[in-house]
Chain A
């Protein structure tokens, strides 16, 4: 089954943490894009920022790879790294939530689905939050909500610009309504960042859906996306069941959102640092 198809089915759901896009063994990688399928020398793929040199398909990267890629010389200071999840609902599932968390923590080396870094991008001091899809589908629970809110409050205090890189299936079911409330908490903090005249750039990557899209991912002064990313509120399957029709080709992809006026720009990963450098220079008057 192709990578794109699997994503389509999974949208709006919580994807398993085992999902790894770039296979970690072997010297060669096969492109995930089924229309391409090119065999790529691993070193070439990495040098090309995990973008297929043949078709331009953007492979998913981890939160730490993202921060390493965006900050000058890959250098940053991690913030709020000690904030860990709990099981406030004692959620009953076929696999207990605490076990799911432990498994995800072991697989990713992270405590939850978001890493905050402070450093420089093209010489501009900036805070970047990056979501980790391999951690329970990048789902947003209390820890993601708390860490983003702390990052925003830190930006207000120090007058720093903020970038959030979203990659998430949405709110985390296992923390119930508390997850939902993170949307309000983060959005209220973003209002304060806005009141302070500080810039927030939202980068949407594949996938960004559900409660993440319906809160901070759509609230940037600039909303930009990587090519081909699935971006939406409702999951494709839910929409199909509701309207009982097939969805149009390219529905909920970055280019679809651009066409419908929801994004400022779709930016190739290889152009991303250049775009962000110019955007930060543009907003610098207020930092």
Chain B
């Protein structure tokens, strides 16, 4: 019995580790396997091009679309160049610029989430990290085109949600989505980052819990052992789910789609004695 409890408690942290696995397919690995004619579009037209956020136009089974994604680096040099997948405000503003481009030309938006969080730094604060995230949340809610969101790895708090408002919210089997990292939570509650495993369990951040809480719509299976074990198969499974999500979103009128997107988030939360 004790062993079973221990396994249950450790499962979330094991998933967190899989979500962060250094061989896990990142956005560009999925993009090259799922989309064709991908052209990256750079910069926020205000300050800089943030390499932690990759955006571009592409074709999805022949259909013109845009892809918006966090991007982590594979080796030391690329990791630094990608800022470990932590965008600055400029990255979020670029993402919004490209999503609004898609909206203008009536092209669906796919977002792929995989970030430890928005970058915490002096420059990010100076240029309005909070404002950039906030504006994305508001504007994504009123994009007229289909918006298909998938958490492929780490869904790190506001930095993840800033490209996470859509019609379908999918998560890969070993993806996680949380208001704070397990380490951050443990440091605050127990003043001990070593309690991260316990925090991971408390936070209910794994796919099956998120589905129960009504935060995600679907769990996308991964190859045996995890997505890192077979990138092609992981991409095939993701592709299949994206087709389903897009078909569903495209079957609705713009008005229906906007109303359903609003309702989806409107119903999230748990309160007593409502009205």
Shortest Cβ distance from residue B207 to the other chain A in the assembled complex, whole angstroms:
11
Cβ B202 vs Cβ A93 within 8 A: yes
Q: Is B254 an interface residue (CB 8 A)?
A: no
Interface residues of A in 171-208 (CB under 8 A from B): 171-173, 175-185, 187-192, 194-195
> Does the CB pair B131–A187 fall under 8 Å?
no
Report if A178-B213 is in contact (Cβ < 8 Å); known contacts: A146-B274, A188-B138, A234-B129.
yes
Bound-state CA distance A192–B121 (Å) is 32
Contact among A86, A89, A145, A217 for B203, CB-based, below 8 A: A89
Mask: chain B, 216-241; 1 = CB below 8 Å from A; 0 = not: 00000000000000000000000000
Q: A83-B272, A184-B265, A188-B262 are in contact. Are A218 and B203 (CB under 8 A)?
A: no
A176 touches B268 (CB 8 A): no
Q: A94-B190, A195-B142, A239-B122 are in contact. Are A219 and B205 (CB under 8 A)?
A: no
B118 & A233 in contact (Cβ 8 Å cutoff): yes
- Tell me the complex Cα distance, A252–B274, Å: 36
Any A CB within 8 A of the CB of B85 = no
Is A83 a contact partner of B138 (Cβ separation < 8 A)? no
Residues of A contacting B177 in the complex (Cβ-Cβ under 8 angstroms): 177, 180
The one of A80, A88, A235 in contact with B270, judged by C-beta atoms closer than 8 angstroms, is A88
Cβ of A211 within 8 Å of any chain B Cβ, yes or no, is yes
A23 part of interface (Cβ distance < 8 Å):
no
Which of B119, B121, B134, B142 touches A215 (beta carbons < 8 Å)?
B134
- Interface positions, chain A 210-242, Cβ under 8 Å from B, are 210-211, 213-219, 232-235, 238-239, 242
List the B residue with the shortest CB-CB distance to A178.
B269
The answer to whether A171 touches B137, judged by C-beta atoms less than 8 angstroms apart, is no
Q: How many residues of A contact B (CB 8 A)?
A: 67
Distance, CA A232 to CA B124, complexed state (A): 10
Q: Is the CB of A233 within 8 A of B125?
A: yes
CA distance A194 to B201 in the complex (A): 39
Q: State A217–B128 Cα separation when bound (angstroms).
A: 12
- Tell me the chain B residues, 22-60 only, with Cβ under 8 Å from chain A: none
Structural contact, B269 and A176, CB atoms closer than 8 A: no
- Least CB distance from B1 to A in Å reads 18
Q: Does B170 contact A (CB under 8 A)?
A: no
CB distance from B90 to the nearest CB of A (A): 14
Q: Is A277 an interface residue (CB 8 A)?
A: no
Task: Report the separation of the CA atoms of residues A15 and B155 in the bound assembly, to the nearest whole angstrom.
Answer: 25
- B185: chain A residues at CB < 8 Å are 173
The 7 A-B pairs at the shortest CB distance, nearest first, are namely A234-B120, A142-B269, A188-B141, A187-B137, A88-B270, A213-B130, A233-B130
Interchain Cβ contacts within 8 Å, total number: 199
> Whole-angstrom distance between the alpha carbons of A199 and B152 in the complex?
38
> Which of A33-41, A42-50, A62-70, A243-251 lies on the face that meets chain B?
A243-251
Contact with B along A109-147 (1 / 0, CB 8 A): 000000000000000000000000000000001110110
**In the assembled complex, how far is the CB of residue B267 from the closest CB belonging to chain A, in whole angstroms?**
9
- Are A232 and B205 in contact, with the CB atoms below 8 A? no
Residue contact B189 to A94, C-beta cutoff 8 Å? yes
A85 at the interface (CB under 8 A from B): yes
Measured between beta carbons, the chain B residues less than 8 angstroms from A141 are 269
Interface size class of B (residues with CB under 8 A): 35 or more
Residues of chain A contacted by B265 (CB below 8 angstroms): 181, 184-185, 188
- Determine, out of B62-70, B73-81, B100-108, B156-164, the stretch whose residues face the partner at the interface: B156-164
**CB neighbours of B119 from chain A (8 A):** 242
B96 close to chain A: CB less than 8 A:
no
Q: Can you add 19 more A-B contacts, CB < 8 Å, to A85-B272, A86-B270?
A: A82-B273, A143-B271, A173-B203, A176-B178, A176-B203, A177-B204, A178-B269, A180-B161, A183-B161, A187-B165, A188-B266, A191-B138, A191-B139, A195-B142, A215-B158, A217-B130, A219-B134, A234-B118, A239-B120
Q: Which residues of A contact B203 (CB under 8 A)?
A: 89, 173, 176-177
Cβ contact within 8 Å between B261 and A142: no
Pairs A–B under 8 Å by Cβ, sample size 7: A82-B273, A86-B272, A176-B213, A177-B178, A177-B210, A234-B120, A239-B122
Find residues 148-198 in chain B having any chain A CB closer than 8 Å to their own CB: 157-158, 161-162, 164-165, 177-180, 184-185, 188-190, 198
Q: Does A1 contact B (CB under 8 A)?
A: no
B7 interfacial contact with A, CB 8 Å: no
Contacts of A187 in B (CB 8 A): 134, 137-138, 141, 165
Residue of B121, B137, B188, B210 near A239 (CB, 8 A) is: B121
Residue of B126, B127, B138 with highest tally of chain A CB at under 10 A: B138
* A84 part of interface (Cβ distance < 8 Å): yes
Are B204 and A89 within 8 A (Cβ)? yes
